[in-house]
Amino acid sequence: QIMEGSSISGVTLAADDTAENEEEDAGAADGAAAESPAAQFCNDWLTCVARATTGAFLTQVLRIPKLDNRGAQHLAADTGYLINVLRALDLPAHALLKHLRYLALAPKEELSSLLEGRLPTHSPAAAVVGKINRRFGAMRGIAVPFSE
């Protein structure tokens, strides 16, 4: 009852009063309609669930001990599926999720050259990406260069 007629990530929930829905749809088309507090709460909650799901997925992936070519293809498909679900919910996919899919799709030669390159270490984000790259290289059986 609280959320009837509310928009959750671009999906309008059914309401009993069709005239009220038509007014909301017209206002939304103009970009003038503001979201109700209930809809905003639902959108915020959905964003939190998506972030937690993404974090849990990345954590489990980085615990994989070894990954052959077929496993990498499967991981790329699973990652692409999660990205598509987030897109369908009108939520952004985290950059690390997209990067993981890139790593899973990359041939071993490309991964090797990526591991040989140096990322700037002054950025915490670059340090995380570097660690993920090295971990993924180790999962794929690529010799990982020693880092400080």
Half-sphere exposure of 4 (CA within 13 A, CB side): 9
pLDDT digits (tens, 9 = 90+) for 46-91: 999 999 999 999 999 999 999 999 999 999 999 999 999 999 999 9
Sign of the C-alpha dihedral computed for residues 15, 16, 20 and 21 taken in this order: positive
Distance of CA 103 to the CA centre of its chain: 15
Q: Is this model's pTM higher than 0.85 or not?
A: no
What is the spatial distance between Cα 53 and Cα 32, in angstroms, rounded to a whole number? 32
pLDDT digits (tens, 9 = 90+) for 21-37: 444 444 444 443 457 89
pLDDT digits (tens, 9 = 90+) for 89-127: 999 999 999 999 999 999 988 888 888 876 666 788 888
CA distances from 37 to 19, 40, 50, 106 (A): 21, 5, 20, 44
